Amino acid sequence: MEAAAAGAGGLEVVVFRWLAFGHMIPFLELSKRLAARGHTVAFVSTPWNLARLPPVPAGLSSRLRFVPLPLPAVEGLPEGAEATSDLPPDKVGLLKQAMDGLADPLAAFLAAGRRPDWIIHDFCHHWVLPIAGQLKVASATFLIFQAALLVFVGPRWANPAHPRTEPEHFPEPPRWIPFPSTTFFHRHEAQWITDRGGARNNASGVSDMDRWWQVLERSRHTIHRSCEELEPRMFGLLSDLFRKPSVAAGILLPGPPDDRDEDHRQSSSGAVARPQVLRWLDDQPPKSVIYVALGSKAPLTPENAHELALGQELAGVRFLWALRKPAGTSNGDELLLPAGFEERTRDRGVVCTGWVPQVEALAHCATGAFLMHCGWGSTIESLSFGIPLVMLPFVVDQPLIARAMAERGIGVEVARDEKDGSFDWDGVAVAVRRVMVEEQGKVLATNAKKLQEVLVDQGRQEHYIQEVEEHLKRFKDV
């Protein structure tokens, strides 16, 4: 790396993330905060992924630079596919295989010029650790999901004593958690883990679990997009379990949208055009709308979409639904919704199958709740605006997040069948009305507001970044 003006005592840091959109913003925000504190950061990714990044403040341009490494071609991987959002789920293993082909280019970059102090990488970059060791570069793993998931998985050494290979092993917290915890999966969620979880090899030849354990065992410490206020006692437990420091970085929310990003598109006159869905929200009463969005990767079937639609119709409240096309549907929209649904709900609801500015929708005064899949990023966004939750988790850490938010009195889960995980319109309507109409909703909203006050405290959040910085300085030569 070239020696840039990092200031007295400034660190040289390389940041290298997994090729998924949900990982992009947290890694960029961590990079921006380190650069703002006087450190030099090289953000490494593939060309198309770098092109998708939002602009960074001009004042950081001298300390934060972007380094493209072309993604190697892999048989079966569509041309131009450089992120998980470009692919169906069954092709993601091929993307990992292509990413593994970046080992030599990354090694060459790290070896060129001044040796960096740190490389901060993602959960799946097991091959980065030998490269870093050979070059005597310290490495840290940055994990963008809930810390409780890492606690649930546990270290490799703890698992043989308490093997979990069948669905009945998962509906209780791991035995290495020494305090009462909601860190468990229901049976139908555990079935997904045992059938399709990260323990199986994929097209890359290395299972996600093996990647994860290799990374965690060899990196110097872990950094987490979380904080003590969201996950009390988890970071001390992680440090004990993995026998290395686990450091909270705070929630790493982006700053206010810039006029240049896609949340603020220019009209033909040159003025900033306000999206139509926000103009619709402008006309609704305060706290009267439930915003519905299940993310881009939720395994929502056409049948699920119909039950969700009918549940919203039965609940009788206003809604804004950012609806992604479920897997298995045709290119048309006719299979997404029950016949006549939009006509019957036109006076109180909007279904948008295009882009919706989620942060602005959540921040809008008309939004009273969020029906969500409990992805960690979306959960953090909603809590930062004090929005109570209607929760419909599907996979990975989403059920753990839903349990934790329900325990804190911030959200209500949609009822599911314990055996197969199915849900129906009645369960959706009951959960929506509890949050939006019934007395319980006031309590949930109050609890969400209290947590919001803590999470948006800039002094607290800056303290977490300062702790990360101190760890990077302290351990870079250990």
Residue 194 lies in a domain: yes
Residue 469 lies in a domain: yes
For residues 305 and 158, state if they share a domain. Answer: no
Phi then psi dihedrals of residue 285, to 5 deg: -65, 155
Degrees (nearest 5) of the Cα angle 152, 155, 159? 80
For residues 398 and 386, state if they share a domain. Answer: yes
- Please give the Cα distance from 350 to 320 (Å, whole number): 5
For residues 355 and 448, state if they share a domain. Answer: yes
pLDDT for the residue 200: 62
- Please give the Cα distance from 328 to 96 (Å, whole number): 24
**Angle between helix 458-475 and helix 21-36 axes, rounded to 10 deg:** 80
For residues 426 and 463, state if they share a domain. Answer: no
Tokens of 46: 């593939």
Residue 310 lies in a domain: yes
For residues 140 and 284, state if they share a domain. Answer: no
pLDDT for the residue 51: 93
Contact criterion met (CB below 8 Å) for 248 and 464: yes
- Helix or strand holding residue 138 (H, E): strand 138-143
Measured CA distances, 337 to 277, 303, 309, 326 (Å): 19, 9, 7, 11
- Please give the Cα distance from 337 to 323 (Å, whole number): 10
pLDDT for the residue 478: 61
Q: What is the CATH number of the domain that holds 399?
A: 3.40.50.2000
Of the candidates 260, 101, 243, the one whose C-alpha atom is nearest the C-alpha of residue 176 is: 243
For residues 272 and 157, state if they share a domain. Answer: no
For residues 303 and 318, state if they share a domain. Answer: yes
Neighbours of 21 (CB within 10 A): 15
For residues 280 and 141, state if they share a domain. Answer: no
Phi then psi dihedrals of residue 8, to 5 deg: -60, 125
For residues 138 and 164, state if they share a domain. Answer: yes
pLDDT for the residue 195: 61
Measured CA distances, 124 to 16, 18, 398 (Å): 11, 7, 19
pLDDT for the residue 398: 93
For residues 234 and 154, state if they share a domain. Answer: yes
Of the candidates 248, 253, 213, the one whose C-alpha atom is nearest the C-alpha of residue 471 is: 248
Degrees (nearest 5) of the Cα angle 315, 357, 301? 50
Residue 7 lies in a domain: no
**Domain range for 331:** 265-455
- Please give the Cα distance from 232 to 70 (Å, whole number): 41
Contact criterion met (CB below 8 Å) for 223 and 138: no
pLDDT for the residue 273: 67
Looking at the structure of the chain, the number of domains it has is: 2
Contact criterion met (CB below 8 Å) for 174 and 154: yes
Residue 49 lies in a domain: yes
pLDDT for the residue 476: 86
pLDDT for the residue 307: 94
Residue 2 lies in a domain: no
For residues 416 and 462, state if they share a domain. Answer: no
Residue 1 lies in a domain: no
* Per-residue pLDDT tens listing for the chain (478 residues): 433 444 456 999 999 999 988 899 999 999 999 999 999 999 999 999 999 998 888 899 899 999 999 999 999 999 889 998 888 878 888 999 999 999 999 999 999 878 999 999 999 899 999 999 999 999 999 999 999 999 998 888 888 887 777 777 788 888 899 999 988 888 888 776 666 555 566 677 788 888 888 999 899 999 999 999 999 999 999 999 999 999 999 999 886 544 333 333 333 334 446 788 999 999 999 999 999 999 766 777 888 899 999 999 999 999 999 987 754 445 444 567 899 999 999 999 999 988 899 999 999 999 999 999 999 999 999 999 999 999 999 888 899 999 999 999 999 999 999 888 899 999 999 999 999 999 999 999 999 999 999 999 999 999 999 999 999 999 988 6
Residue 5 lies in a domain: no
For residues 199 and 222, state if they share a domain. Answer: yes
Q: State whether residue 171 is helix, strand or coil.
A: coil
